[in-house]
């Protein structure tokens, strides 16, 4: 999601919790009002502290939340790090807007790179000698994400009488979307694999930042107005983000 005035790393720490050594990064933020813990899929844990706060306060927070920290670390961090991409080919199951589709590899030198959804199947045409289907599939995902997200952003921005400077589709491992101070919106192409209500939530979150460049009460009220179930959608990303982040990893 959008973060402005990014926190600055001030220390790398570790703690023995629940029978395992858990590393975490301590970051200082001028916008932070209290100590909080963040979890980033496949990357690790970060403790955000306000300006003037000591490292001891970060360590105390980790110790106080030991059970929660271990649970999140195991579920989101270790899970993503240990994810091994299985060979992609006919019969593999892939996702598109929350649907499970069976991948079907088609060979046609004249139609190389073409991808088509047909019922519960995703047909991918690849030329002989091409890389495995991952390259064609990721290109298609990126194009679909660009088209679907732009349509949603344009509709919502118009409804809110807001304007944005540009829209970028990226492949970040730990960020689903962002809004720059200049009004440029960025989205992770892997969102096209998530259920559409989850994708809608991320779009609404970032477009809302065009009006409220913060996470104040007014911001969340605006998000809730357009996405009443935003908490459930955010929870889905927390629970399944590692799966999306590992999709096609190492294949393209």
Instruction: Provide the CATH number for the domain formed by 135-246 in this structure.
Output: 3.30.2010.10
> Rounded to an integer, what distance in angstroms lies between the CA atom of residue 29 and that of residue 50?
5
3 falls in which pLDDT band (50, 70, 90)? very low
2 falls in which pLDDT band (50, 70, 90)? very low
pLDDT in tens, 208-245: 999 998 888 999 999 999 999 999 999 888 778 777 87
User: Does the predicted model carry a pTM greater than 0.75?
Assistant: no
Q: Is 36 exposed, middle or buried (0-12, 13-18, 19+ CB in 10 A)?
A: middle
Q: Helices in the chain by DSSP H: which ranges?
A: 55-64, 66-72, 79-82, 134-159, 196-208, 217-226, 230-246
Q: Count the Cβ atoms, other than its own, within 10 Å of residue 86.
A: 9
Q: Which of 25, 19, 53, 50 is nearest to 38 (CA)?
A: 25
Q: Which of 59, 161, 65, 140 is nearest to 96 (CA)?
A: 140
Angle between helices 196-208 and 134-159 in degrees, nearest 10: 50
Q: What angle do CA 180, 155, 206 make, to 5 degrees?
A: 25
The residue ranges of every structural domain in the chain are 8-82, 135-246
> Rounded to an integer, what distance in angstroms lies between the CA atom of residue 142 and that of residue 130?
19
Q: Report the mean per-residue pLDDT for the chain.
A: 83
User: Do residues 197 and 229 touch, judged by C-beta distance below 8 A?
Assistant: yes
**Residue 177 is encoded by which pair of tokens?**
């979307």
CA 120: distance to chain centroid?
25
pLDDT in tens, 132-158: 577 788 889 999 999 999 999 999 999
Instruction: Return all residues near 170 (Cβ < 8 A) that are at least 6 apart.
Output: 186, 187, 188, 189
């Amino acid at each position: 999601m959008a973060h402005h005035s990014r926190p600055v790393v001030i220390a790398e720490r570790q703690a023995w919790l629940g029978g395992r050594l858990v590393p975490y990064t301590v970051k200082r933020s001028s916008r932070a009002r209290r100590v909080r813990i963040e979890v980033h899929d496949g990357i690790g844990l970060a403790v955000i502290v306000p300006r003037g706060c000591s490292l001891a306060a970060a360590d105390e927070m980790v110790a106080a939340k030991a059970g929660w920290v271990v649970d999140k670390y195991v579920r989101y961090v270790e899970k993503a790090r240990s994810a091994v991409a299985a060979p992609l080919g006919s019969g593999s199951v892939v996702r598109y807007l929350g649907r499970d589709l069976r991948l079907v590899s088609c060979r046609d030198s004249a139609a190389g790179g073409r991808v088509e959804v047909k019922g519960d199947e995703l047909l991918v045409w690849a030329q002989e000698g091409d890389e495995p289907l991952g390259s064609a599939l990721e290109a298609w995902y990126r194009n679909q994400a660009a088209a679907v997200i732009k349509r949603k952003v344009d509709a919502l921005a118009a409804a809110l009488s807001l304007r944005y400077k540009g829209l970028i589709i990226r492949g970040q491992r730990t960020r689903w979307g962002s809004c720059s101070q200049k009004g440029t919106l960025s989205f992770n192409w892997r969102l096209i694999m998530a259920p559409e209500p989850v994708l809608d939530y991320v779009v609404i979150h970032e477009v809302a930042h065009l009006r409220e460049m913060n996470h104040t009460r007014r911001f969340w009220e605006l998000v809730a107005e357009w996405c009443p179930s935003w908490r459930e959608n955010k929870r889905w990303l927390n629970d399944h983000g590692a799966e999306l982040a590992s999709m096609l990893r190492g294949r393209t």
